A and B are shown apart, each in its own frame.
Chain A
Amino acid sequence: MRLKVERLEKSFDAVRALDGASLELFAGEVHGLVGENGAGKSTLIKVLTGVHRPDRGSVLVDGAPLAFGSVAASESAGIAVVHQESTAFRDLRLAENLFVGHEPRKFGLFLDRSRMQSQAKAVMERIGEPPVPGALGDAPLARQQLVAIARAVSTNAKIVVFDEPTASLSVKEADAIHRAVRDLRSSGVAVLYVSHRLEEVLGLCDRVTVMRDGVVVETRAIQETTRETMIRAMVGRDIAHAQPEPSSPKEVRLEVRGLSRPPAFEDVSFQVRAGEVVGLGGLVGAGRTEVARAVFGIDRPTSGSVLIDGVALPPGDVAQVIKFGVALVPEDRQHEGLVTPLSVATNLCMAVRKTIARAGFINNEREREVTEHQTESLAIRTSGPDAPVTSLSGGNQQKVAIGKWLATSPKVLVLDEPTRGVDVASKGEIHRIVRDLAKQGTAVLVVSSDLPELLHLSDRIVVMRGGRVAGSLQRKDATPESVLALAIAEDK
């Protein structure tokens, strides 16, 4: 056994990213690691590579315990990693990229350029690739990923961790990566391969481990694994929420027609009716947030249009979009949703400051009225309207971020990750607020990575995959399995 991970635990504030995850990895195997967003895969990788220090647990490499929290220690233990995004130094050349940090030297002081060159060539030959001329940043992404693999080879790594190396590559480009992975396996390296492409995992791996909520659910030999067993294990939780009463959607309020902004998303079309909650689902990177931003006019689409009550919105003009009655509660509330040093009252009245002003000055009377009304109806727990918004809990901050827009009585409300980092109680209240708004006739678009939340809130779920709409599911057809099946690519 090459690598033994035992009961790793790691928390970030209140979030348990790893909750006793264990894993075994053998020399000469490609071991797949799959799981939903937030299952703990990335944290596990970061512990292995020395970026994060776990709270509890141990990792043994060839029986020797790994010293945590040091990139150098992980590297000298023989663990190398190939990241999802290129970690290339774009301005440096191939050989420089391969050896920076442990450069071959002459006279102890100088770079041995000729040795760097010949070693670089040898390493690229070992993975069956020609050398890259010029600055690495000028090479296509797939080549940069191959160089990352070459680097792992050059350090004589015993364990190579792949973190979704093909996520941004085409199927054909991915083939070259797969070939390199198989070569690593036949030379006795232990490979841990994280991917969202289940077909890729089935075709490449010898065993597959499924993670969920920070623990390992199961590890199976590839012969006993199918797409379905993986998805079932990835989801496998009870969804015992009280189902909200279905809303009664009316006329089409928001229509997105052929909206494109490559490479983030292309040809996205869907409708949201008044009184309807539509969820926008998909994996991280599928283009959901980018669509929400384009709908709100933050980013200008290259083609397509957004219509409110049949009238096309001017593209890329937030001020106009707001006038049309659209509101956006962004994903990053600390930076985009709230003005954090300011008070609860100021934040709540931010979007209506014109209507509560008299001759250009804020009318304190009106500000207090709006604040009191919103604080009460949203059950915002605060020491007072003048309390800085930072003094509130995450959940209450989010209510302020939503309340800011409710004061404008929006026709369309777009929520991006409305309950990320929010405690369970506030989460329930936010869900109730969203459903109430829909009942009052607001058209709501919810972007969320939290699958149970999406299923709970939405009358309909539009699932995105790789920047396109993969399909749409009515509430009665939407299950974790059906959503994930749409969200995860079927490689051909």
Chain B
Amino acid sequence: MKRELGLLALLVAVVTTVSIVNPAFLTTQNLRDILVQVAPFAVLACGMAFVVVLGEIDISIGSMVGLLAVVLGIGTSPALMGAPVGVVTAVMFATGAALGCLNGLLATYGRVPSIIVTLGTLSLFRGATELLLKGEWVTDAPKSFINDTAAISIAAAVVLGTWVVATKTPLGLRVYAAGGNPEAAKVRGLDVKKLRLLAFVTMGLLAALAALISVPQMSVIESGIGAGWELFVVTCVVVGGVSITGGRGSIVGVVIGVLLLGTVRTVLVFLKLGDDAVYWERAIQGAFILVAVLADRLMVKRR
């Protein structure tokens, strides 16, 4: 809980500072914009939290979102397939589950470290996306079926749902147990591999959900959607206090991590630090992850 409170204090400090420098920051519209912007990342980070708690990682999610966005675009575009939105959405979710399942099977029963598996699928999924589009853009996909309110509500529902699973259900407890001490979990008869597979499949489904709430907001669908998202999401999860060695972390911390880094992304504009300020974003993101991991190490050492 300490970690979460610290992060929350940091978030409040950032928001307060920026509001003092530039009162335009603290408007309903701007805060709403931030929420819409971070919504898909919150969804992805909640899925990633389970993966990382289990001692695994999935860096293919950016490419996954890209591929699923193209499935959605090509499926719904009147000029291309023009299929009903409901049907295409269902196909997209099935695809997301299948992609996650592929990662999971290779990482568990295939015994390949998940960082390598998803490094491979990161390229594989992006390659598939480029093959499907062949340099074209989809510009006429319908957009009206998801609005800002829907996007924020869906993200909030995912946060609530994953929090319930993590803290209130036997499944969540088993995930923490299997991540913290896999050997002991096996001795207790828990199927650690099945839990890991489940986490990867869930990650795929949440990637589909993230695509659903972000892609219709984009003016065009091209092959670069989602590129680099995995880095931002992993940063949020680690900054949010999920131990990279597994077993520890909370959904509350992850969500605060998403809000914090999502806010930092936009405040640079508001701080009026000059034209170059926006170029600091990545460096700041990087510094956050290093500080977070260092804090984690120090805490582990103390115990």
Closest to B248 in A: A91
On chain A, the residues within 8 Å of B170 by CB distance are 100, 103, 105, 111
A105 to B180, CA, bound (A): 22
**Known contacts being A103-B170, A109-B169, is A88 close to B186, with CB within 8 Å?**
no
A81 to B248, CA, bound (A): 26
Q: Which of the candidate stretches B9-17, B171-179, B261-269 sits at the interface with the other chain?
A: B171-179
On chain B, the residues within 8 Å of A221 by CB distance are none
A101 to B247, CA, bound (A): 16
**Known contacts being A92-B180, A137-B303, is A100 close to B188, with CB within 8 Å?**
yes
The binding surface of chain A is classed by DSSP as loop
On chain B, the residues within 8 Å of A100 by CB distance are 170, 173-174, 177, 185, 188, 190
Residue A72, interface by CB 8 Å = yes
Residue B189, interface by CB 8 Å = yes
On chain B, the residues within 8 Å of A101 by CB distance are 174, 177, 188-190
Residue B153, interface by CB 8 Å = no
A89 to B184, CA, bound (A): 7
A71 touches B168 (CB 8 A): no
A464 to B176, CA, bound (A): 39
Choose among B174, B183, B185, B247 the residue that contacts A91 (Cβ–Cβ < 8 A): B247
Closest to B188 in A: A101
B198 to chain A, nearest CB (A): 16
**Known contacts being A105-B170, A111-B169, is A89 close to B187, with CB within 8 Å?**
no
Residue B181, interface by CB 8 Å = yes
On chain B, the residues within 8 Å of A70 by CB distance are 189
A376 to B187, CA, bound (A): 48
Residue A367, interface by CB 8 Å = no
Q: Mark A119-141 against chain B: 1 for CB-CB distance below 8 A, else 0.
A: 00000000000000000011000
A138 touches B303 (CB 8 A): yes
Q: Mark A15-58 against chain B: 1 for CB-CB distance below 8 A, else 0.
A: 00000000000000000000000000000000001010000000
A71 touches B247 (CB 8 A): no
B20 to chain A, nearest CB (A): 39
A141 to B288, CA, bound (A): 35
**Known contacts being A109-B169, A110-B169, is A92 close to B189, with CB within 8 Å?**
no
On chain A, the residues within 8 Å of B303 by CB distance are 90, 137-138
Closest to A105 in B: B170
Residue A299, interface by CB 8 Å = no
**Known contacts being A101-B189, A101-B190, is A88 close to B184, with CB within 8 Å?**
yes
On chain B, the residues within 8 Å of A88 by CB distance are 181, 184
Closest to A116 in B: B173
Q: Mark A62-83 against chain B: 1 for CB-CB distance below 8 A, else 0.
A: 0000000011100100000101
B194 to chain A, nearest CB (A): 13
New A-B contacts (15) at CB < 8 Å, excluding given A71-B188, A91-B180, A138-B303: A49-B187, A70-B189, A71-B189, A87-B187, A88-B181, A89-B184, A91-B247, A96-B173, A96-B176, A100-B170, A100-B173, A100-B177, A100-B190, A101-B177, A105-B170
Which residues of B are in contact with A by a Cβ distance under 8 Å? 168-170, 173-174, 176-177, 180-181, 183-190, 247-248, 303
